[in-house]
Amino acid sequence: MRHLLPLLLVACSTSRAVRPLPAGTGALTASLGGPINADLGAPIPLPLTTIGYAYGVDGKTDVHAAIHPTAAAAFGVFGASVGVARQVWDQQGGSPRLMTDLTLHAFGGDAAAGPPLAAGRAFAELSGVLSWDVREHSLYTGTDLFFQPGPRATAHLSPLGGAILRRGRTGVAFEAAWLAPYVDNRPLAAHWIGPFHRGAVQLKLGLELGLGRKP
């Protein structure tokens, strides 16, 4: 079951596909949180972090990039991500907006003692998100598909949902996800928390600070 570990590290940022940025504007992004683990005496989310930047290309398309500081500091694994999010259709009354996002991740370093001394891996993440704007705020739900092409090809689908509260150019996101809900987590060395001993529940807090002209 070790093939689940990359998913638990990669899926540490809040959704990048909720509402597109206005054209020509940017945003600094950060997130904190991760899958809930019980190895420290109480079930708590791992304090994984990401720091990134997003740019609105045309009002429907965002490009974004991020780094993963906690993975480097705690595990000696350095990672970076780049991606593009695209609005497929906008919200119409009670009908939600649909956005998709494709993100590529690259990680390298020592994740465990012993040989090999260092290794690199690349991962892809594809998500589809339905969102509803309530005044300046947003509610959303969707699914995320994680794919590892090698050395052993694996794919995992995870449902997610959350809310973004905005004031001016600042947005605070609260998100929950159920990573790989069909996988039995009992054989894993770490004690991940998931309903019916399946997958891992993940809780995350995100922050977005808008830059550039106002919409």
Residue 1's pLDDT is 39
Minimum mean pLDDT range among 17-26, 42-51, 59-68, 184-193: 184-193
Type and span of the H or E element at 145: strand 137-148
pTM: 0.88
Across the range 140-166, mean pLDDT stands at 90
| Beta-carbon-side half-sphere exposure of residue 170 (alpha carbons within 13 Å) | 2
Residue 111's pLDDT is 56
12: left (phi over 0), alpha (psi -120 to 50) or beta: alpha
> % helix / strand / coil in the chain, to the nearest 5?
10, 60, 30
On the question of pLDDT at 213 being above 70, the answer is no
Most confident of 95-99, 146-150, 152-156: 95-99
On the question of pLDDT at 127 being above 80, the answer is yes
Average pLDDT of every residue of the chain = 87
In tens, the pLDDT along 62-101 reads 999 999 898 777 667 788 999 999 999 999 989 999 999 9
CA quadruple 102, 108, 112, 117: dihedral positive or negative? positive
Confidence of residue 42 (pLDDT cuts 50, 70, 90): confident
- Structural domain of 47: 2-211
Write the CB contacts of 77 (distance below 8 Å, at least 6 apart in sequence): 9, 68, 71, 107, 108, 109, 110, 111
CA 84 to mean position of chain CA atoms: 13
Q: Are 17 and 99 within 8 A, CB to CB?
A: yes
Confidence of residue 115 (pLDDT cuts 50, 70, 90): low
On the question of pLDDT at 113 being above 90, the answer is no
For the chain, how many structural domains are there in total? 1
Across the range 26-32, mean pLDDT stands at 95
Domain with 57 in it: what CATH number? Answer: 2.40.160
